[in-house]
Structure 1
Amino acid sequence: MPIGPVTMIGVYLVLWWTVLFAVLPLGTSRETHEPPTDGAQWGAPATPNLKRKFITTTWVSAIAWIVVMLVIYTGWLPLPDFSRVAPNL
């Protein structure tokens, strides 16, 4: 096994956060807004749809994770083996 389960989880988490920041701006409108009267920020969307964006982020990052794991396991992306002890110099 080229990488362990902890590294696999770490790769998935990095992919998930990267995809989240790519998905967050999707579906927001560029229309002009009146000044908010309820204390909200000017640029905040009225309906952010965060649940739908988290679900989309999860399945897109799962597909990307599978692709990354296939690339690693097929040998297209060889990883160095750091488990061997280096000789004394």
Structure 2
Amino acid sequence: MTWFTGIVVYLLVWWTALFCVLPIGTRPDPAGDPAAGGWRGTPVAARLGAKLIGTTVLASLIWLGIWALVESEWLSFRSGILAMPGS
């Protein structure tokens, strides 16, 4: 995996992980006051900083797994069961 491919894969994994982490621990505001800028159903405390850090850690672990799988011979189109037959 080249460095460019690694960055692209990491960004895709990070973005997907963000949408997995966002709803964790979110409690909606049942009353909501539109005059104060809040609506019914908006999160009381979004904690976006903690969620961004959690997303980064989760995406890094997933990316390391992907990198290890791509760099290993276990999943290879050059040798093994997935190899293309010789012409």
TM-score over 0.5 (shorter chain): yes
Higher RCO structure, 1 or 2 (CA under 8 Å, sep 6+): 1
Q: Deviations over 1:18-70 (max 9, x none)?
A: 0000000000125x611324122322111100000000000010000000000
- What's the offset of the Cα at 1:79? 6.2
Tell me the TM-score normalised to structure 2 length. 0.78
- Return closer, same or farther for 1:71/1:39 CA change in 2, 3 Å cut-off: same
Q: Is 1:52 equivalent to 2:44 in the alignment? A: no
- The partner residue of 2:31 within 26, 34, 46 is 34
Q: Which residue of 2 aligns with 1:86?
A: none
* Number of equivalenced pairs: 77
**What 5-or-longer segments of structure 1 have no aligned partner?**
81-89
Tell me the TM-score normalised to structure 1 length. 0.76
Tell me, yes or no, if the aligned pair for 2:27 and 2:45 is still in contact at 8 Å: no
- Return closer, same or farther for 1:79/1:68 CA change in 2, 3 Å cut-off: farther
Q: CA RMSD in A?
A: 1.9
- Return closer, same or farther for 1:79/1:46 CA change in 2, 3 Å cut-off: farther
